Structure 1
Amino acid sequence: MSENKKPHNRIAELRKEKGLTLQQVADAIGVGNNTISRYETGKREPKLETWQKLANYFDVTVYYLQGYGLSIDQAKNKVISIIHNAYFEDTELTSAVDSYLRTISPKKKAIFPFDFYKDNETDYP
């Protein structure tokens, strides 16, 4: 029987990514730096209000900060990838999108997703 472990929170990861000290984060949310250290190591669990302060400070969701899900950038990239793959793998969708783009820009040449690619390129810039 497998045990569902709670993921490790991302406080330390975000703090280091932004080049911040424990003290800077502690001062920003109104706790001691030892408290932030304990949050990072999982020795202490923040209250919901503190999770929200930390999430606002790092500009992420509480859910992401707690170690779940994707960051906003990761989610955007995932959505772009799904749309990109669908456009190039589904000829019916490709035709519908191209037709729509022609309709909304009849006087100007519409820019189609294929226009962003150079010869033999497969990655969207």
Structure 2
Amino acid sequence: MKNRLKELRQKNNLTLKQLGEKLNMRDSTLSQYETGKRSPKLKVWEKIADYFGVSTAYLLKIGEEPNKAHLMTKAVIFIYTRSFNEPGVDSVDRYEVDDYRINGSVVETKYCGEKWIFPLTSIMGIEELNNG
């Protein structure tokens, strides 16, 4: 999952080891989060975002505003889905939505005229569509 962890860490002049000590986490784990090789549970993203004083959405590169709810119209949202019926079968589904809003740890959308809610940790990306 794309994120701003490395950017925020470097902006604050911290090494992985220093950040790991402050968050009580291993630097190797943080490195895997930075590169997207590993993605933690939402509670860990929230802990990291709180440390840097930014929103979870900003940390996860979903929103551009560090501390504000993000509102946009016409977008494509890419959702990570794990199959419970077929172990090992994962996919990324594409949804073209009429609008979306990041609200705490979830993304609220309007899809096919109905309200849908996705956890932030399932979002692989959001791409704004040209509204003109």
TM-superposed CA distance for 1:73, in Å, is: 7.4
Name the residue aligned to 1:58.
52
Distance in 2 between residues matched to 1:15 and 1:32, nearest whole Å? 14
Distance in 1 between residues matched to 2:63 and 2:57, nearest whole Å? 7
Name the residue aligned to 2:8.
14
1:32 maps to 2:26: yes
What percentage of aligned pairs have identical amino acids? 43
Q: Which of 68, 71, 79 is residue 65 of structure 2 equivalent to? A: 71
Q: Which of 35, 42, 45 is residue 36 of structure 2 equivalent to? A: 42
TM-superposed CA distance for 1:71, in Å, is: 2.8
| Structure with more relative contact order (C-alpha pairs < 8 Å, separation 6 or more) | 2
Higher helix share: 1
The TM-score, its normalising length taken from structure 1, stands at 0.50
Distance verdict in 2 for CA 1:25–1:40, change over 3 Å: same
Distance in 1 between residues matched to 2:47 and 2:65, nearest whole Å? 17
Unaligned 5+ runs, structure 1: 1-6, 76-125
Distance in 2 between residues matched to 1:51 and 1:73, nearest whole Å? 15
Structure 1 ranges of 4+ moved more than 3 A: 72-75
The TM-score, its normalising length taken from structure 2, stands at 0.48
> Which structure would you say has the larger Rg?
1
Higher strand share: 2
